[in-house]
Each structure stands twice: as C-alpha cells, then as structure tokens.
Amino acid sequence: MQQERKRADNRTRLKLEKQHWIDAACVGDVNNIKLLTNQPLKIKCHGHGTRQMCRTDKYGFPARYVPRFKFIKGFQTGDIVKAIVMKGKKAGKYVGRIATRSTGSFNISTREKLVQGISYKYCKIIHKKDGYSYAF
C-alpha cells in the first residue's frame, strides 16, 4: 500500500500520465525520470519452432515431410530482413519477417502485404529470430 502511494506521488510530482508502464518506472525513490518514447515496446513470445518428424493431416496421419535443415542460405523462418530488389516484377524495398523455402526463394511478410518469391541474394538480416516478435 505504501509503495503504491509512493508510485502515485512520484508520477503526479513528475507530471506524468497514468499508464501501467509509466507506473512501473516510477517505483521507489525517483528524483527525475526521462521517458525516451511515448509508448512501450510490445513483445510477444512465439517460441523457436516445432520438433515434429512430419506434419499430419486432420486425422493424425503423416501428410508432409519437415525440411531437414533449419537454416537455409544462412536464413531461418522468423528472421527480420531488408530486401532491395532492383529489377523485375517484384522491384522495390521490403522489410519484414521471412518464411524460408529450401529453394532459396523466400516469402517476406511486411506490415502491408505478403511478398512471395524473393531470392536470398536480395535479403540482408536486420534481426535474427530469437523466439519473440516486437511491435510499437
């Protein structure tokens, strides 16, 4: 109870709005605080994949095989990449999460759309997959 009162006192004294993430920063003896952003970073856990030997159909029978290797051309599904395609039908700059294929032709999920069939040669890793997704 005393800690909650102190947190509220710190927040009102520093003229900060009432939000959960700001309250967490105002706990304890706080003389001043500098907020670097207007909103917190949202983090969601996705895990590192599955350990199945094969995919199954709705009845539980084996339906598809699972690729033998997790890394393809140095990339893995879930990496955040920047792809700059200079020519062709899919010319443009794309930043997003990739889904790998063993052929080296990847799908990139951007905020706006899904772009299919981008070669690994155009991709540069921005952030390696770590089991989490990040958003503002």
CATH code of domain 45-135: 2.30.30
In angstroms, the first-to-last Cα distance of the chain is 32
Q: Residue ranges per domain, the chain?
A: 2-40, 45-135
Q: pLDDT in tens for each of the 136 residues of the chain? A: 566 666 667 888 888 888 888 887 787 777 777 776 667 788 888 887 777 778 889 998 988 877 777 788 999 988 999 999 999 999 999 999 999 988 889 999 998 999 999 999 999 999 998 988 877 6
Q: Which two tokens stand for residue 100?
A: 């790998």
The amino acid sitting at 134 is: Y
Q: What is the DSSP string of 60-125?
A: S-EEEEPPS-S-BTTB-TT-EEEEEE-SSTT-EEEEEEEE--TTSEEEEE-SS-EEEEEEGGGEEE
